[in-house]
């Protein structure tokens, strides 16, 4: 089972119709603190080696942040649906457009 996604979802979903939780977090990190936190903790988890006594602790910390982020994202149907439709492309392009200076998006 993939560590990055909850059981039954994302990488652990039975089909391949769900985007990875990390993909969703990257797409949302600039708008959602929870998503940015989950990414930070994922990096900390990846940086720790097998046998590191802190690895389990880091995994729990990541899972908590990720679950919070997924709850926050689930309340934003637009982002969730866009990511579902084209998992990687939607996430990457929305992450890119968000990192540009705000202009056209101001009317939202
Ligand atoms: Zn995943």
What integer is the mean pLDDT of 60-84?
A: 78
Cα(10) to ligand 1 centroid in Å equals: 5
Closest by Cα among 47, 44, 104, 37 to 68: 37
Ion ligand 1: residues, Cβ under 5 Å? 2, 4-5, 10-11, 20
Q: What is the pLDDT of residues 7-52, one digit of tens each?
A: 988 899 888 788 899 999 998 898 889 999 999 999 999 998 877 7
Closest by Cα among 67, 24, 23, 63 to 42: 63
Cα(88) to ligand 1 centroid in Å equals: 12
What was the pLDDT predicted at 90? 46
Cα(81) to ligand 1 centroid in Å equals: 17
Distance of CA 87 to the CA centre of its chain: 11
How many of the other CB atoms lie within 10 Å of CB of 40? Answer: 15
């Amino acid at each position: 089972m993939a560590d990055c996604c909850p059981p039954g979802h994302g990488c652990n979903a039975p089909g391949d119709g769900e985007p990875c939780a990390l993909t969703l977090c990257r797409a949302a990190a600039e708008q959602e603190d929870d998503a940015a936190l989950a990414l930070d903790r994922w990096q900390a988890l990846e940086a720790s080696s097998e046998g590191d006594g802190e690895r389990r602790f880091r995994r729990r910390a990541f899972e908590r942040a990720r679950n919070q982020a997924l709850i926050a994202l689930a309340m934003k149907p637009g982002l969730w649906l866009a990511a579902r439709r084209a998992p990687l492309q939607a996430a990457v392009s929305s992450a890119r457009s968000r990192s540009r200076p705000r202009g056209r998006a101001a009317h939202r």
